[in-house]
């Protein structure tokens, strides 16, 4: 099993995408990358901690190769906007990859360079993982537990539709 930590906007949205993939054992929403020595939803959403809303993904690379996982990541969020994903604005929504193993970095770099060679203006940050702060329980598996939540119903279905269209062979069920 491997872990990688990704920030691509609201963790409710990114979590729902990766929970739909074969080979993903767990997705934990949380915070990473800030200067504050602690993190919670209210503080991070205030934009003053420097932390990013992220998901910590545990996956089986023999089922879901890192290259494919990264293709899904870059294909289901906007890696070209700094500190913004749709209506979510602020540094806590920046696009970032935190690799947990130095062997992951070359794959991350290759994926980004491939997109740049295609003319995509990638602003995604790439850093080694630092301390991960688990988000509060009510933020875990949020979309599945709150299917009627208005924001989720606006933001998540287009991501899942894109996932089904472009990566269906990697989806559960």
Q: List active site positions.
A: 10
The token duo for 134 is 């688990």
The token duo for 119 is 């003319």
The closest alpha carbon to 20, from 164, 152, 166, 165, belongs to: 164
Catalogue the E-assigned strands of the chain: 2-8, 24-32, 52-59, 84-85, 88-89, 95-99, 125-128, 133-134
- Cα→Cα distances 24→12, 48, 100, Å: 16, 32, 16
């Amino acid at each position: 099993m491997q872990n990688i930590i990704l920030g691509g906007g609201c963790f409710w949205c990114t979590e729902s995408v990766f929970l739909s993939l074969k080979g993903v054992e767990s997705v934990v929403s949380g915070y990473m990358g800030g200067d504050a020595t602690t993190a919670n939803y209210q503080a991070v959403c205030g934009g003053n901690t420097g932390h990013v809303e992220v998901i910590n993904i545990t996956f089986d690379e023999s089922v879901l190769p890192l290259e494919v996982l990264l293709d899904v990541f870059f294909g289901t969020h906007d890696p070209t906007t700094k500190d913004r994903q749709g209506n979510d604005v602020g540094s806590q929504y920046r696009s970032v990859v935190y690799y947990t193993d130095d062997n992951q970095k070359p794959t991350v770099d290759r994926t980004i360079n491939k997109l740049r060679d295609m003319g995509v203006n990638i602003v995604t940050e790439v850093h080694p993982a630092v301390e991960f702060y688990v988000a509060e329980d009510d933020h875990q598996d949020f979309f599945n537990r709150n299917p009627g939540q208005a924001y989720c119903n606006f933001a998540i279905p287009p991501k899942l539709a894109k996932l089904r269209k472009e990566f269906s062979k990697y989806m559960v069920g």
